Chain A
Amino acid sequence: MELLGKTYIDFIGKRHIAFVISAVISIIGIIGIIQIARGAANMGIDFSGGTAMQLKFSKPIDTASARTALDKNGIPKVELQEVKEGNKLLIKIDRNMSIALGKSAEAVQNAFRKEYPANTFIVESSTEIGPSIGDKLRKDTLIAVVISLLGIILYIAWRFDFKFGIGATLATLHDCLAMFAVFYVLNLEINLLFITAVLTIAGYSLTDTVVVFDRIRENMHKNLKESLPNVFNRSINEVLSRTIVTSLTVFLAAISLFLFGGEVIHDFSRALLVGVIVGTYSSVFVASPIVVLLENRALQSKPQKA
């Protein structure tokens, strides 16, 4: 079976549209990162410090009355989220709370016990993180991201020549930024698992780019006369079906994680899904056009010689 027959799509010709789309996505991603750095985004408590709890009640509980109950017991400004399946309540408390660390989870439990004596609950999970841990983690994560990207860039630089290296690096960066953009726009939580997903995609999304680049190099050596955009277009079209199929298999795995993996890794698998899709797009529409752009510029800077 074949998904695609022989195709001839002018990918390089559409690069201007692609660049505009990618630029917009990247800018949103950069804004998202700046907001994260400023602490203005929806940060997970592993980075910001604070308390997060998941309680499972015996009877349904609505967030409005839960909020009042907590407020009445000296726990204001909580973020509440209701999970309909199984009467679950997710509670997030900022670290700038008056209650001392190590006591807020207890205080929440006491408040609910007092206000809803008939609605018993169990603590499914509870996490309290002090500011010093959050700061350290943020620093460690930043180092981890920088080292991974450096490692990838160095590897690409070693394997490909300069222009291909830039194309692959920018495409990888673009994928990471797109993940940040989606999470920032949807106001999803930026936590350690999200960063893990971003780094995983940074490593994985190169697969498609490498497949395309390998083919371009092969064709460039075979045919020296053909114009660059033609070689690129032909190469991308030749490997298009494998670009799509490899992404599809990972997509199938990620979507089953997203749909059936449970709430703990729901956002993690969502990030992976976004990354897989964007990674496929960027290997076709970002990585190769950038190389064409660079090659053209190099040719124009030394004219008349040929």
Chain B
Amino acid sequence: MPKGTGWRISLIVIFALLSLLYLTPTLAAKLPSWWTDLSLLPKDKIHLGLDLQGGTHLVLEVDTEKAVEGSLDIIATDLEDTLNSKNLHFKRINRVGSEKVSMLFYEKDTATTVQKLMNDKYPGYKQSPQRDEGGFVALDLQITDEAAKDRKDKAVAQALETIRNRIDQFGVSEPLIQREGIDHIVVQLPGIKDPQRAIDLIGKTARLEFKLVREDIPPNSASLPDDAEIMKEKTVDPTTNAVSEIPFVLQKKALITGDLLTDAQVRIDSQYNQPYVGIEFNSLGAKLFDQVTAANVGKRFAIVLDNNVYSAPVIRERISGGSAQISGNFTEKTAADLAIVLRAGALPAPVKIIQNETVGPSLGQDSINKGLMAGLIGVVLVVVFMAIYYKLSGIVANLGMVLNVLFLTGALAALGATLTLPGIAAIVLLIGMSVDSNVIIFERIREELKLGKTPKSALDSGYDKAFLTIMDSHVTTLITAAVLFQFGTGPVKGFAVSLSLGVIINLFTSLIGTKVTFDLFLHKGNVKKMSI
């Protein structure tokens, strides 16, 4: 064996074995038990992108302004309660936009007392000086930029956790849920059967509120008092699909909210065989529920979810024990989904779906089949061409190309990279590119042979002189692949991964893999003719 071939051959063999090892889980229909028992052996198949295995890719935008507004609302309510309990009189407390709560007092003294009170109570907020507003004393409590930023940040983190909970309870295998940028959440649901249902489940804010119905005000009245609002109950006729809306006048202030729940389960009404959602309150919720129902017997109590009235039953008697039921026009699925979102909790702010890409499983499989077919035909075309054009040397180049594909797929499996359809396209393209280096080398060798050099020296100078050219073309391709990797998403990223890995591996196989084969054949120096 010629000098210096030993380590090169061993390297190729080691890489080939490693590639095969990492590809085994992908290629084998079922791994034998002794394989799965050995912890060192790889067990993961090549990850397929959503475009190949089917599934849904969502990007959600969290309306973080709403989260800030929500915390200001809480402060406004809290202030009202505190001041009422301390007998401090005020004219008005309300939230203004998403930056402040403004207050209006009758007397300067009260305002000063409230200022002191707020100092300790609300860190992260700054107070405006008192000012006169039409004979009243006005005061603002403004959220600082940092506090607002912090609140937004927490809202996104919290929304992510809630969405993760919901998806876990819904049951999707290997979901990917991650934050992207400031207020975006990316959700990937591979292989999901009913994407629309999952999307509804994820996107629902699920803010549950119990509000008293103001039956003293007709829903069509022109002017509503400050503390009342109109909300509608939507019912869908199961036979005609017609939507009808019943308006209700509700008290603005929610008496009980969904964060006091401990559990929500689907139950079936034994009388009408209609599903409903049974909910359980925690101790505080149970106490509140008991108090509210006791004080309002005979009145209607509306159950509101995301500003839609689900039902507005009449309170017949005081309900203690801390459980209640939400009924509406449920099917078993919608009831089950409502129970999930109630258990997982409400989103701190509404989310908006700004990107939704869904690929059905049939199309994914179709893409895999066609991609493999195109790859196979590409390989055959290139192999045949090289073998005819460069004879035995062409076959050596073909061997290099096969090694290239083997190493590349092995590397994809080993690195846990995701294979997408453009990724497959990159591999097919690389089949053509990988023989290019050999073409450049072979053409050089042919030239050297024409100058009358021996096969051995023609081979060496062919490889030497072609080296820089090959480097150049690989580096420029690698530059664009790297940029694509940095900026691309999903399928394009998969393309960039395959392309950049392929280019690097190709450098190895064409400069070392094929060279060592020639060295083995030609090392004796007495080979008179080269098949090229």
Residues of A within 8 A of B (CB): 1, 3, 54, 56, 101-102, 105-106, 122-130, 132-133, 137, 140-141, 143-144, 147-148, 151-152, 155-156, 159, 192-193, 196, 199-200, 202-204, 206-207, 210-211, 214, 238-239, 241-242, 245-246, 248-257, 259-262, 264-265, 268-269, 272
Q: Which residues of B contact A207 (CB under 8 A)?
A: 436, 472-473, 476-477
Complex-state Cα separation, A269 to B443, whole angstroms: 28
- Does any Cβ of A come within 8 Å of B72's Cβ? no
| Listed residue (B355, B377, B382) with the most chain A CB atoms within 10 angstroms of its CB | B355
- Does any Cβ of A come within 8 Å of B488's Cβ? yes
Partner of A151, one of B203, B374, B479, B487: B479
Complex-state Cα separation, A1 to B384, whole angstroms: 13
Contact string against A for B residues 335-365, beta-carbon threshold 8 Å, 1 for contact and 0 otherwise = 0000000000000000011111111101100
User: Looking at the complex, which of B79-87, B156-164, B423-431 is the stretch in contact with chain A?
Assistant: B423-431
A148 engages B436 (CB within 8 Å): no
- Does any Cβ of A come within 8 Å of B366's Cβ? yes
A250 engages B370 (CB within 8 Å): no
Given contacts A193-B422, A249-B382, A253-B429, contact A261 B370 (CB under 8 A): yes
Complex-state Cα separation, A211 to B465, whole angstroms: 11
A242 engages B440 (CB within 8 Å): yes
B422 engages A206 (CB within 8 Å): no
Q: List 23 A-B contacts (CB under 8 A).
A: A3-B389, A125-B357, A130-B354, A140-B487, A143-B487, A144-B484, A152-B479, A155-B472, A155-B475, A200-B484, A203-B476, A211-B473, A239-B443, A249-B436, A250-B432, A252-B385, A253-B381, A254-B432, A256-B377, A262-B374, A265-B421, A265-B422, A269-B425
Closest to A129 in B: B355
B491 engages A101 (CB within 8 Å): no
Complex-state Cα separation, A217 to B178, whole angstroms: 52
- Does any Cβ of A come within 8 Å of B433's Cβ? yes
- Does any Cβ of A come within 8 Å of B51's Cβ? yes
Q: Which residues of A contact B443 (CB under 8 A)?
A: 239, 241-242, 245
B374 engages A260 (CB within 8 Å): yes
| Listed residue (A248, A251, A264) with the most chain B CB atoms within 10 angstroms of its CB | A264
Closest to A172 in B: B476
Closest to A141 in B: B487
Complex-state Cα separation, A272 to B432, whole angstroms: 12
Given contacts A262-B371, A265-B425, contact A249 B432 (CB under 8 A): yes
Name the distance in Å between B339's Cβ and chain A's nearest Cβ: 23
Given contacts A144-B484, A192-B492, A254-B429, contact A249 B374 (CB under 8 A): no
Complex-state Cα separation, A302 to B218, whole angstroms: 96
Complex-state Cα separation, A251 to B435, whole angstroms: 12
B359 engages A125 (CB within 8 Å): yes
Q: What total count of A-B pairs have CB within 8 Å?
A: 218
B358 engages A125 (CB within 8 Å): yes
- Does any Cβ of A come within 8 Å of B378's Cβ? yes
Given contacts A126-B356, A257-B425, A261-B371, contact A248 B483 (CB under 8 A): no
B433 engages A204 (CB within 8 Å): yes
Partner of A257, one of B374, B439, B476: B374
Q: Which residues of B contact A56 (CB under 8 A)?
A: 362
- Does any Cβ of A come within 8 Å of B12's Cβ? no
CB-CB contacts below 8 Å: B451-491 with A: 468-469, 472-473, 475-481, 483-484, 486-489, 491
Q: Which residues of B contact A246 (CB under 8 A)?
A: 436, 439-440
Name the distance in Å between A249's Cβ and chain B's nearest Cβ: 4
Q: Which residues of A contact B362 (CB under 8 A)?
A: 56, 122, 124
A128 engages B360 (CB within 8 Å): no
B354 engages A133 (CB within 8 Å): yes
A253 engages B356 (CB within 8 Å): no
Partner of B487, one of A54, A144, A159: A144
Partner of B354, one of A129, A200, A254: A129
- Does any Cβ of A come within 8 Å of B61's Cβ? yes
B479 engages A260 (CB within 8 Å): no
- Does any Cβ of A come within 8 Å of B388's Cβ? yes
B374 engages A256 (CB within 8 Å): yes
Complex-state Cα separation, A210 to B484, whole angstroms: 22
Name the distance in Å between A107's Cβ and chain B's nearest Cβ: 12
Complex-state Cα separation, A127 to B363, whole angstroms: 14
Q: A125-B358, A200-B429, A252-B432 are in contact. List 6 more A-B contacts (CB 8 A).
A: A203-B478, A204-B476, A252-B378, A253-B429, A253-B433, A262-B421
Closest to A6 in B: B450
Partner of A214, one of B359, B468, B484, B488: B468
Contact string against A for B residues 97-113, beta-carbon threshold 8 Å, 1 for contact and 0 otherwise = 00000000000000000
A102 engages B374 (CB within 8 Å): no
A148 engages B483 (CB within 8 Å): yes
User: What are the 10 A-B residue pairs with the smallest beta carbon separation, nearest first?
Assistant: A253-B432, A130-B354, A262-B370, A207-B473, A203-B480, A250-B432, A203-B477, A144-B487, A256-B378, A242-B443
B386 engages A210 (CB within 8 Å): no
Given contacts A144-B486, A202-B480, A268-B422, contact A126 B428 (CB under 8 A): no
- Does any Cβ of A come within 8 Å of B291's Cβ? no
Complex-state Cα separation, A56 to B364, whole angstroms: 13
Closest to B391 in A: A1
Q: Which residues of B contact A251 (CB under 8 A)?
A: 432
Partner of A124, one of B199, B203, B359, B374: B359
Q: Which residues of A contact B473 (CB under 8 A)?
A: 204, 206-207, 210-211
Name the distance in Å between A278's Cβ and chain B's nearest Cβ: 16
Q: Which residues of A contact B390 (CB under 8 A)?
A: 1
Name the distance in Å between B441's Cβ and chain A's nearest Cβ: 9
Name the distance in Å between B353's Cβ and chain A's nearest Cβ: 4
B353 engages A101 (CB within 8 Å): yes
Given contacts A105-B356, A251-B432, A262-B370, contact A133 B59 (CB under 8 A): yes
Q: Which residues of B contact A101 (CB under 8 A)?
A: 352-354
| Listed residue (A101, A207, A239) with the most chain B CB atoms within 10 angstroms of its CB | A207
Q: Which residues of A contact B357 (CB under 8 A)?
A: 125-129
Partner of A196, one of B370, B433, B472, B484: B484
